[in-house]
Amino acid sequence: MADPMKIRAQMKGDVAEIRILMSHAMETGQRKDAAGNTVPAHFIQSITIDVGGKRVVDGQTGTAISRNPVFGFKMKGAKAGDKVVVNWVDNKGDKRSDEATVA
Amino acid sequence: MEMNQTRRIVLRGAGSFGALSALIMAGVLKPTAAFAADWNKAAFEAKDTPAALKGLGAGSTADSKDLVLKVPDIAENGAVVPVDVISNIPNTTSIAILVDKNPTALSAQFSFANGAVPEVSARIKMGQTSLVKAVAKAGDKFYIAQKECKVTVGGCGG
């Protein structure tokens, strides 16, 4: 089970800034370990963000996203108190869902 | 590919709820599939940019000054390269980030809805010095912006 995400959602004027830090190895499948064996690919493939019950961002990612991914998004029409739900699923079927509140 | 076609039909028919529910009833789509499309294997496993763009359905792309791509001129650590993409193109619905010389060109693709600003910041991996490309979709058209980022191996600062 992956570690929780860190999610920060803050109103800046009329725009909500959402920053997400995910905890994931993001193995490309090209790296070799000390014994020379290829480390199998293990990476996040799908990311969704819901704010106030509505799907805001629907993303897909490949192996070229850095380890422990950081993403930043912005949205209009959100207000303080709205619930932010972020989900990810990786290529091995591991998943994680975390919540935050727009401040 | 078959999944992509299904998805395109769904997107086209998004205005008509009847068509969508008919597809769901016909068992073509699971209800959740209407929201989160399956991982676009064809695009993400493409070795070069033209093939990745094809996988995204972007046959031709037009240069646009309204698509802003921010990457550092020099990245001392290719494992963590900050990328910002901001689309000022009206009705932008998705943004993709590609690195020409990575083993697989496509890094990420994001679709925006319900008030999301077509803007994303992310950190990507780059194997070597390469052009970084941002592709935005607005309506049926695709727009592109690109910038070179030098990757210095060994972190000597080049």
Q: Give me the number of domains chain A comprises.
A: 1
Domain membership of residue B57 (yes or no) is yes
Contact A62 B120 (CB under 8 A): no
Distances (CA, A) of A32 to A38, A39, B6, B44: 4, 5, 38, 21
Contact B125 A63 (CB under 8 A): yes
Contact B114 A71 (CB under 8 A): no
Confidence of residue B8 (pLDDT cuts 50, 70, 90): low
Domain membership of residue A51 (yes or no) is yes
pLDDT reported for residue B22: 54
ipTM exceeding the 0.90 mark: yes
Q: Give me the number of domains chain B comprises.
A: 1
Please report where in the chains the tokens 């207000």 appear, as a residue: A79
Domain membership of residue A68 (yes or no) is yes
Domain membership of residue A1 (yes or no) is no
- pTM for this entry: 0.83
Question: Among B125, B131, B120, which Cα is nearest to B96's?
Answer: B120
- Structure tokens of B49? 């940019």
Provide the CATH number for the domain around residue A94: 2.60.40.10
**For residue B101, what is the nearest residue in chain A, using CA coordinates?**
A64
Strand partners, B67: B87
Domain membership of residue B154 (yes or no) is no
**A14 and chain B: CB distance < 8 Å anywhere?**
no
Residues B52-62 have a mean pLDDT of 94
Mind telling me how many Å the CA of B11 is from chain A's nearest CA? Answer: 14
Domain membership of residue B68 (yes or no) is yes
| Domain membership of residue B120 as a residue range | 2-149
What is the spatial distance between Cα B140 and Cα B57, in angstroms, rounded to a whole number? 10
Domain membership of residue B157 (yes or no) is no
Provide the CATH number for the domain around residue B109: 2.60.40.2470
Contact A30 B80 (CB under 8 A): no
Domain membership of residue B39 (yes or no) is yes
Residues A81-93 have a mean pLDDT of 96
| Domain membership of residue A46 as a residue range | 6-31+40-101
Domain membership of residue B18 (yes or no) is yes
